[in-house]
A and B are shown apart, each in its own frame.
Chain A
Amino acid sequence: MIPEIGHFALILALGLATLQTVLPMYGIWRSRSDCLAVAAPAAIGQFVMMGIAFVALGFAFYANDFSVAYVAANSNTQLPWFYRLSAIWGAHEGSLLLWMMLLAGWSLAVALASRTLPRDVASCVLAVMGAVSVGFLLFTLFTSNPFERQFPAPMEGRDLNPLLQDPGLVVHPPMLYMGYVGFAVAFAFAITALITGRVDSAWTRWTRPWTTAAWMFLTIGVTLGSWWAYKELGWGGWWFWDPVENASFMPWLVGTALIHSLAVTEKRGIFKSWTVLLAITAFALSLLGTFLVRSGVLISVHAFATDPTRGIYILTFFAVVVGGSLLLYALRAAQFEAGREPVAALSREGLLLLNNIFLVVAAAGVLLGTLYPILADSLGMGRISVGPPYFNKVFIPLTVPLVVLIGAAAVMAWKRTRADVLRSRLWVPLIVSIVAGVALPLFTVGTTAVAAVAGCVLGCWAIVTAFEDILRRSRGRRVMLPRNVVGMALAHAGVGIFVIGVSLVSGFGGEHDVRLAPGQSTEMVGYEFTFLGTRHVDGPNFVAEIGDFIVREDGRQIAELFPSKRRYNAGGQSMTEAGIDVGITRDIYVSLGEPLSGDAWSVRIYHRPFVRWIWAGGFISALGGLIALTDKRYRRRRATADKPVATDRGLTTASA
């Protein structure tokens, strides 16, 4: 009964989403305010229906209702309850439900927060989001219904893929999808701008916080994904340039470009059509990611379901949404191009233009690498795969200048900055970062290798310049700095921390495969690892061999690690759970390979210096986004929100 309620709620949600799209669009066309007024209540209703469907599926998982085919395929009575609930998004159908649930959540947020927006703008935004929702609901109901029953119901479910039985599953997909779907709001604002022909400061002030919020979630999602892969896949790597990782990274790159370009559009009233294009692109890449993951067109560790019908549907949907938006863009964006002013190279907008170029080229490089296998195949060049060497070659040269630019971000003023001001403010941070950047690798991993030092100098540069600005602005006074300034500084410092982590972990990690019998020891980079033996443990839905390792440094015990090898009861798959000793300057990572003769095991040991900095950087950047979001400008009431951009431009021209 409950699954039928969920199914029915999905159908009602489709009806409400259709209303949410069609009536407001008609209202805009005919200037009918009664039709416009439908958008917000319909969005609220759609959210309620999606919520009911989501809870219904959750209940089916919780109650082990294996007559629901999706539950039977992805759950098991032995599965702990929190994994049973997270299993909702453990496979195709439920991930879609999560996607739509979050889209409905974002629509609800827009509907509730839209009182300060002009009604036609708010309704148009909701109508566009409703249209996206209609597409996904149709897809779900016709090709991927999570509530489909099967009779007779099996006695036991097939169990959730063991790779996914990890706390990472509980948080990573919801965060990532919050980010993906959040770009739908920026997208809807962009379409609204094209329809109404208005890109004014009210528009940017409205679009900015939504974009920052989506970006923040996406940053957390991608960072969590990297951390999860590191700990769960047992290879000690943190990024694999897997097509699905790329699918989340491309919208991140374009979203980052969008945040910066929105700042220029708000402050200077320029780059308007570019900003609109970026907003469309960020969401298009989110949709493309969904297509790549769900269609099976690319082979990847993440892509399980391969069903050509689904692929054709998503591709058609992608063509309609993205093709339609870009057609609208081609027809209407010319009106935003009037009054273009030259952009000085030494100005904040010039800097941000460069930033945008690097970010977009990087995203294009990743896109090319991701799609190249399909391209090569269609040109008859055979089936190939594109690996990390390509991506590193393309990506690193683009990241280096980007991080150099970050350092100038805070110093650069709008319109024009004098070169001597730049010099006088940047030479101290430059010297500090060179000193710190040389000292850091020397005293921690003991190297003066060029790549490590260059990376650390670069990372320190981003951190030091970020804090120089904060210090200088607040020197001697107890003032509350604007939240967006603090947020920017933190986000940029986060990038610096990330860069340091990457440069030290990539060149100086060690790894080591050994055969160890109980009682034997091995040494690596000053640590001594002693294998005490394994013991057998029964988990809730698996049996495990757990190895006991003692790690000593200079004869003193610093850690005890328990890597394990699990064998899941339902599917019989084996999984490796690494034993990791976490540290600020290094991780020690032990993973069990295969049992060998006697009680010996093949053991893999990794030393990963500064790997935590990679994720710390990601989370700090996201925190910066959160702080910027709470800036009080975004809480202004309508009276000031409607200030036209002409006033802005008048002011800046006058002051120039």
Chain B
Amino acid sequence: MRWRLVLPIVIVFALIVLLGYGLTRRPDILPSAFIDKPAPAFDLPTLASDRDRITVDDLKGRVTLVNVWASWCVACRAEHELITAVSRRTGVPVVGLNYKDTEADALRWLGRYGNPFAVVAFDPSGATGIDWGVSAVPETFVVDAQGIIRYKVVGPITREEMNASLIPKLEQLKAKGS
């Protein structure tokens, strides 16, 4: 057996190990540069709310969930009931960040599917979304009482993810804060 003939299988073996390793890493849990950093500043008008504007300071004082959504986003509709469930089960208020949407569409969406948000920040240009590093809607951020981002989910939340990581994370932060 000549080494030249064995070389291809060695390379392919290395490739398979590499790909196998790649598979164990969920590409949607990005080690975001935003984790453990203060939430980026914003000051936006709100939708369907009696207050005029919402700023990053309004997130402070208690644990909040920030959910980036849009009426044009199919996956947001899929996670809608889970967002509602998280809020109901943990008592954590959800701040919606309506991303690159129109006011009429967003209000119609909330009217049709129900409004799980304590308040919705309206970001039609997507500028705040960009500051927050949003790459795909939906994204969900856990912000603690000090206004620091502690956890992030890219893409729709699944029921497993909600039970296994999101709710424990929220409970843990709530316990620490009180």
The complex places the Cα of A365 from the Cα of B116 at a distance, in Å, of: 49
Q: Which residues of A contact B13 (CB under 8 A)?
A: 323
Question: Taking CB as reference atom, which chain A residue is nearest B8?
Answer: A326
Further 5 A-B residue pairs, CB within 8 A, beyond A297-B19, A334-B1, A378-B25: A315-B19, A318-B16, A337-B2, A374-B18, A572-B71
Q: Are B27 and A298 in contact (CB under 8 A)?
A: yes
- Residue in contact with B8 in the complex, picked from A329, A371, A375, CB distance below 8 Å: A329
CB contacts under 8 Å to B, within A360-406, are 371, 374-375, 377-378, 382-383
> How far in angstroms is the closest Cβ of chain A from B169?
21
Kindly state the interface size class of chain B when it binds its partner. Answer: 20 to 34
Q: Indicate whether A383 sits within 8 Å of B31 (C-beta atoms), given known contacts A323-B9, A323-B13, A330-B6.
A: yes
> How far in angstroms is the closest Cβ of chain B from A69?
14
Q: Are B22 and A329 in contact (CB under 8 A)?
A: no
Q: Are B23 and A315 in contact (CB under 8 A)?
A: yes
- Residue in contact with A306 in the complex, picked from B9, B28, B71, B105, CB distance below 8 Å: B28
B56 at interface by CB-CB < 8 Å: no
The complex places the Cα of A319 from the Cα of B25 at a distance, in Å, of: 19
- Residue in contact with B22 in the complex, picked from A322, A378, A571, CB distance below 8 Å: A378
Interface string of B1-41 (1 = CB under 8 A from A): 11001101100110110111111011110110000000000
B72 at interface by CB-CB < 8 Å: yes
Q: Indicate whether A284 sits within 8 Å of B20 (C-beta atoms), given known contacts A299-B27, A383-B30.
A: no
Q: Are B5 and A333 in contact (CB under 8 A)?
A: yes
Which residue, of B1, B19, B21, B71, has the highest number of chain A Cβ atoms within 10 A?
A: B19
CB contacts under 8 Å to B, within A552-611, are 571-574
The complex places the Cα of A151 from the Cα of B18 at a distance, in Å, of: 40
B74 at interface by CB-CB < 8 Å: yes
A646 at interface by CB-CB < 8 Å: no
Q: Give 12 CB contacts A-B under 8 Å.
A: A296-B27, A297-B27, A298-B27, A311-B23, A318-B16, A326-B8, A329-B9, A330-B5, A374-B21, A378-B21, A383-B30, A572-B72
Interface string of A275-307 (1 = CB under 8 A from B): 001001100100000010001111100000010
Q: Which residues of B contact A198 (CB under 8 A)?
A: none
Q: Are B12 and A284 in contact (CB under 8 A)?
A: yes
Q: Are A323 and B18 in contact (CB under 8 A)?
A: no
A479 at interface by CB-CB < 8 Å: no
> How far in angstroms is the closest Cβ of chain B from A377?
6
The complex places the Cα of A242 from the Cα of B121 at a distance, in Å, of: 34
CB contacts under 8 Å to B, within A321-376, are 322-323, 326-327, 329-331, 333-334, 337, 371, 374-375
> How far in angstroms is the closest Cβ of chain A from B14?
10
Q: Are A334 and B27 in contact (CB under 8 A)?
A: no
Question: Taking CB as reference atom, which chain B residue is nearest A382?
Answer: B31
Q: Are B23 and A297 in contact (CB under 8 A)?
A: yes
Q: Which residues of A contact B27 (CB under 8 A)?
A: 296-299, 306
A451 at interface by CB-CB < 8 Å: no
Question: Taking CB as reference atom, which chain A residue is nearest B13?
Answer: A323
Q: Are B18 and A375 in contact (CB under 8 A)?
A: yes
Q: Are B18 and A334 in contact (CB under 8 A)?
A: no
Q: Are B2 and A334 in contact (CB under 8 A)?
A: yes
The complex places the Cα of A337 from the Cα of B31 at a distance, in Å, of: 50
Is chain B's binding surface mostly helix, strand, loop or mixed?
helix
Listed from nearest, the 3 A-B pairs whose CB atoms lie closest are A326-B9, A374-B22, A297-B22
> How far in angstroms is the closest Cβ of chain B from A472?
40
Question: Taking CB as reference atom, which chain B residue is nearest A567?
Answer: B72
Q: Are B25 and A377 in contact (CB under 8 A)?
A: yes
A273 at interface by CB-CB < 8 Å: yes
Q: Which residues of A contact B5 (CB under 8 A)?
A: 273, 329-330, 333-334
The complex places the Cα of A315 from the Cα of B15 at a distance, in Å, of: 10
CB contacts under 8 Å to A, within B36-84, are 71-72, 74
Q: Indicate whether A308 sits within 8 Å of B23 (C-beta atoms), given known contacts A277-B8, A330-B8, A330-B9.
A: yes
Q: Which residues of A contact B15 (CB under 8 A)?
A: 371
Question: Taking CB as reference atom, which chain A residue is nearest B28?
Answer: A306
> How far in angstroms is the closest Cβ of chain B from A278?
11
The complex places the Cα of A295 from the Cα of B21 at a distance, in Å, of: 13
> How far in angstroms is the closest Cβ of chain A from B52?
22
The complex places the Cα of A176 from the Cα of B1 at a distance, in Å, of: 37
CB contacts under 8 Å to B, within A195-239, are none
> How far in angstroms is the closest Cβ of chain A from B27?
5
Q: Are A573 and B72 in contact (CB under 8 A)?
A: yes
> How far in angstroms is the closest Cβ of chain A from B129?
15
Q: Which residues of B contact A323 (CB under 8 A)?
A: 9, 12-13, 16
The complex places the Cα of A273 from the Cα of B5 at a distance, in Å, of: 9
A312 at interface by CB-CB < 8 Å: yes
Q: Which residues of B contact A483 (CB under 8 A)?
A: none
> How far in angstroms is the closest Cβ of chain A from B171?
27
The complex places the Cα of A330 from the Cα of B74 at a distance, in Å, of: 50
- Residue in contact with B16 in the complex, picked from A315, A333, A377, CB distance below 8 Å: A315
> How far in angstroms is the closest Cβ of chain A from B107?
14
The complex places the Cα of A374 from the Cα of B15 at a distance, in Å, of: 10
The complex places the Cα of A327 from the Cα of B71 at a distance, in Å, of: 53
- Residue in contact with B74 in the complex, picked from A318, A337, A571, CB distance below 8 Å: A571
> How far in angstroms is the closest Cβ of chain A from B158?
11
> How far in angstroms is the closest Cβ of chain A from B82?
18
Which residue, of A158, A297, A312, A327, has the highest number of chain B Cβ atoms within 10 A?
A: A297
> How far in angstroms is the closest Cβ of chain B from A286?
14
The complex places the Cα of A492 from the Cα of B21 at a distance, in Å, of: 41
Q: Which residues of A contact B30 (CB under 8 A)?
A: 383
Q: Which residues of A contact B71 (CB under 8 A)?
A: 572
The complex places the Cα of A371 from the Cα of B17 at a distance, in Å, of: 12
Question: Taking CB as reference atom, which chain B residue is nearest A318?
Answer: B16
Q: Which residues of B contact A315 (CB under 8 A)?
A: 16, 19-20, 23
Q: Are A330 and B12 in contact (CB under 8 A)?
A: no
Q: Which residues of B contact A308 (CB under 8 A)?
A: 23, 26
The complex places the Cα of A252 from the Cα of B173 at a distance, in Å, of: 53
- Residue in contact with A378 in the complex, picked from B9, B18, B105, CB distance below 8 Å: B18
> How far in angstroms is the closest Cβ of chain B from A360?
12
Q: Which residues of A contact B16 (CB under 8 A)?
A: 315, 318-319, 323
The complex places the Cα of A486 from the Cα of B18 at a distance, in Å, of: 44
> How far in angstroms is the closest Cβ of chain B from A194?
11
Question: Taking CB as reference atom, which chain A residue is nearest B70?
Answer: A572
The complex places the Cα of A573 from the Cα of B77 at a distance, in Å, of: 13
Q: Indicate whether A374 sits within 8 Å of B8 (C-beta atoms), given known contacts A296-B27, A571-B74.
A: no
Q: Which residues of B contact A337 (CB under 8 A)?
A: 2
> How far in angstroms is the closest Cβ of chain B from A578?
20
The complex places the Cα of A456 from the Cα of B23 at a distance, in Å, of: 44
Q: Are A371 and B28 in contact (CB under 8 A)?
A: no
The complex places the Cα of A331 from the Cα of B5 at a distance, in Å, of: 8
Q: Which residues of B contact A297 (CB under 8 A)?
A: 19, 22-23, 27
The complex places the Cα of A277 from the Cα of B1 at a distance, in Å, of: 15
The complex places the Cα of A296 from the Cα of B105 at a distance, in Å, of: 31
The complex places the Cα of A306 from the Cα of B28 at a distance, in Å, of: 10
The complex places the Cα of A334 from the Cα of B13 at a distance, in Å, of: 20
> How far in angstroms is the closest Cβ of chain A from B106?
11
CB contacts under 8 Å to B, within A155-194, are 158
The complex places the Cα of A524 from the Cα of B74 at a distance, in Å, of: 38
The complex places the Cα of A333 from the Cα of B23 at a distance, in Å, of: 32
Q: Which residues of A contact B28 (CB under 8 A)?
A: 306
> How far in angstroms is the closest Cβ of chain B from A308?
6
The complex places the Cα of A312 from the Cα of B19 at a distance, in Å, of: 9
